[in-house]
Amino acid sequence: MMEEEIQSEEQKTISDFWPSIAVSGGIFGVIIFALGLVFGYMQINAEPTGAILSPLMLSGVVICLVVALAGGVAIWHYTKEETPYVKLGQGALIGFLTGAVLVVVSTVLNELWHFIDPDYTQKMMEATIANIEAMDMPAEQKQMMIDSTAETMRAQQSIFQQILYGIPMYGILNLITGMIAVKIFGKKKEQETF
């Protein structure tokens, strides 16, 4: 039984990886979309206190941490559902593609949300700028932050740019966590005898 599993590991193709990639990428795509919305509306409804770490800034940290788990979860799913024998390269590929899928899923959901709340981006930009204006810092630095925020939010309105820039970064992040997950969840056959 074990030998059969080890042999079949050698014959695995990318189509064998897709269920785990789609499950993890899909779930994490929805999670980061939902987290983005929660933090976004927290920002919109918050009083402009001038706090440097606003809900929007916090969302970046939280989303980055959550996103990094996707590759690991995909490998965990693969070792449970397909085979526990997974190579490092397979883990890297599954991780990268999981990152790509979650970018596409979250971007599409973000775009769809604009049909439900067309003013979402505008409201968030206004709330963020109001918070920056309340900050206790030199006017020049304040203006730089306002310009940077406005440019960032405008850039996020392009679905093409979100996918173009998101896939390599989230892909590499999850490629690494995919490899770590291979070490944690994967079983190894003996490599060399003497």
Partner 1 sequence: MKHQPLYLFVFIALGFMLLFSMGEILWGSSQGKHWTEMLFLGICHNLPDRTFSADGYFMAVNTRCFGIFAGLWFGWGMIPWLKSITDQKKWPIWVLLFAVVIQIIDYTGNLFHIWENTNHSRALLGMALGIAIPTALADQFQIRKTKKTDR
Site residues for partner 1, 129-148, by CB under 8 A, read 137, 141, 144-145, 148
| Site pattern 163..192 for partner 1 (x: CB under 8 A) | --xx-xxx-xx-xx--xx-xxx---x-xxx
Question: Rule CB under 8 A: is residue 156 a binding residue for partner 1?
Answer: yes
- Which of 49, 61, 58, 37 has its CA nearest to residue 135? 49
Radius of gyration of the chain (CA): 21
Using a CB cutoff of 8 Å and minimum separation of 24, what contacts does 110-117 make? 110/33, 110/36, 110/162, 111/159, 113/33, 113/37
Question: Rule CB under 8 A: is residue 11 a binding residue for partner 1?
Answer: no
Stretch that binds partner 1, among 3-11, 17-25, 108-116, 151-159 (CB under 8 A): 151-159
| Site pattern 85..114 for partner 1 (x: CB under 8 A) | ---xx--x----------x-----------
For residues 163 and 58, give the distance between their C-alpha atoms in angstroms, rounded to a whole number.
Answer: 22
Q: Which is nearer to partner 1, 112 or 144 (CB)?
A: 144
Single-letter amino acid, residue 17: F
Site residues for partner 1, 48-77, by CB under 8 A, read 52-53, 57, 60-61, 63-64, 67
Question: Rule CB under 8 A: is residue 193 a binding residue for partner 1?
Answer: yes
For residues 96 and 181, give the distance between their C-alpha atoms in angstroms, rounded to a whole number.
Answer: 13
- Which of 40, 144, 25, 160 has its CA nearest to residue 96? 25
- Retrieve residue 111's tokens: 């775009």
In the complex, the residues that contact partner 1 under the rule CB under 8 A are 52-53, 57, 60-61, 63-64, 67, 88-89, 92, 103, 137, 141, 144-145, 148, 151-152, 154-156, 161-162, 165-166, 168-170, 172-173, 175-176, 179-180, 182-184, 188, 190-194
